[in-house]
Amino acid sequence: MKRNKTMKWLYAILAFLLVFSTITPFNVTAAGGITVELDQQDLITEERIVAGNQIITLDLPDDKEWVKNASNNLSKLDVLISSMVADVDNDKWEEYKNTPGNITATVSSSDGSNDLLTITLKGDASFKISKNQTITINLTGALIENWPGEVEPVEFIIYAQPEISLSGSVQEASASELKGKTIELNLLNAIWDEDKLKVWTNLGPFLDRFKDKDGNTWDVVEDTLKKSDPNDFLSFEDNSHILKIKLPTILAIVDTKTITFDPGDGDDLKVAGYISMENDGDLLNKGSLSFKINQANSGNLDPSDSVNLTEKAINNNEPSTTTITLNLPNGSSWNNITNDKYKQELLIDSFKPSSEPEEWEKIKKELKKNTTNIVVNSNTLTITIPRVEDFTLTKDMVLKLNVPYQILPDGLKLPTQEFVIEAEPKVIISGNATPKISHDTLIKGGKVIELTLVNANWDWDVALSTTKREALLSAFNWGDLGDLNAGEVISKADVVRTNNQKLKITLPKLASFKLSANPELIFNPATITSSLTDEDIQADKADVFTVEALDEVKFKINAPTGINEFDFASEGIKFTVTLTNDKWDQDVEIKGLPAPTGTAPFVLKDSDVNSTLTIGSIDRKSDTVIEISVLKKDLLLFKDSVYDLTVPSNLLEFASAPKTVKAAIKIAGVKAKLEGTATGGDLDAVSLQKGGKTIIITLANAQFIENLSVNDYLGVISSSDPLTTKVKAAITSSNDPKVVVVKGNKLTIKLPAVDFSGNGTLTFNVPETLVKDSEYNIPIENNETIVVGGEAKVVSNTYTISQAFIKNGTTITLTLTDAKWDSTITTNSSKKSALMKGFTVEDQADEWKKVIDETIKTGSFVIDPNSNGTGLIITIPKVNDYSIVRNQKVSVKIPKNAFSNYKYDIPLDQLITITIPPVSINGSFEEVLSEIADLANNELENIRVVVPEKMVETIKVTTVDMPGEQETAVTTVETTLNSSLLNSDTTVVVSSGGQEVERAGDEPLVFVLSNVDFKEDLKITVTTEDKTIEIYKKIGKGKKTYSELPKNPLSGNYSLYQLLTDDKLLKDIFKYYSPSELEVGTVN
Identify whether the C-beta of residue 490 lies closer than 8 Å to the C-beta of residue 478: yes
Integer Cα distance of 20 and 275 in angstroms: 12
pTM beyond 0.85: the answer is: no
The predicted structure's pLDDT at residue 213: 86
- Beta strand 380-384 with 374-377 is antiparallel
Residues 614, 594 contacting (CB under 8 angstroms)? yes
Question: In this structure, are strands 426-430 and 84-86 parallel, antiparallel, or unpaired?
Answer: unpaired
Longest alpha-carbon distance in the chain: 171
Between CA 659 and CA 647 the distance in angstroms is 5
Between CA 16 and CA 267 the distance in angstroms is 15
Residues 210 and 216 sit within 8 Å (Cβ to Cβ):
no
Residue 49's SS3 state is helix
pLDDT of the residue at 307:
55
Residues 1000 and 987: their CA atoms lie apart, in Å, by 5
**Residues of the chain predicted below pLDDT 70:** 1-34, 41, 110, 112, 147-149, 175-176, 251-254, 272-287, 295-307, 319-321, 329-331, 411, 516, 681-682, 930, 932-938, 964-968
How big is the chain, counted in residues?
1084
Give the DSSP H or E segment for 230.
Answer: helix 230-233
Q: Give the torsion sign (CA, 517, 522, 527, 531).
A: positive
Pick from 395, 512, 502: nearest CA to 449: 502
Give the span between the Cα atoms of 752 and 767, in whole angstroms: 23
Which residues, in sequence order, are CB contacts of 339 under 8 Å at separation 6+?
Answer: none
* Long-range contacts formed by 1041-1045: CB under 8 A, 24+ apart: 1041/954, 1041/955, 1041/956, 1041/957, 1042/954, 1042/955, 1042/956, 1042/957, 1043/953, 1043/954, 1044/950, 1044/952, 1044/953, 1044/954, 1044/955, 1044/1072, 1045/950, 1045/953, 1045/954, 1045/1072
Which residues are paired to 912 by β-bridges?
A: 890
**Closest to 703 measured CA to CA, from 665, 747, 748:** 747
Angle (deg, nearest 10), helices 845-858 and 829-836: 160
- Does residue 463 contact residue 497 with C-beta atoms inside 8 Å? yes
SS3 assignment, position 182: strand
Q: Which sign, positive or negative, has the C-alpha torsion 590, 595, 600, 602? A: positive
Quote helix, strand, coil % in the chain, to nearest 5: 25, 35, 45
pLDDT of residue 275: 54
Given a contact cutoff of 8 angstroms between Cβ atoms, the answer to whether 1043 and 954 are in contact is yes
Which residues, including other chains, have CB under 8 Å from residue 371's CB and lie 6 or more apart? 341, 344, 345
Give the C-alpha separation, 897 to 904, whole Å.
8
Q: Domains in the chain, start-ordered, CATH in brackets?
A: 9-158 (no CATH), 164-269+285-294 (no CATH), 302-422 (no CATH), 427-548 (no CATH), 554-667 (2.60.40), 671-788 (no CATH), 793-915 (2.60.40), 952-1045 (2.60.40)
Q: State phi, psi for 811 to the nearest 5 degrees.
A: -130, 150
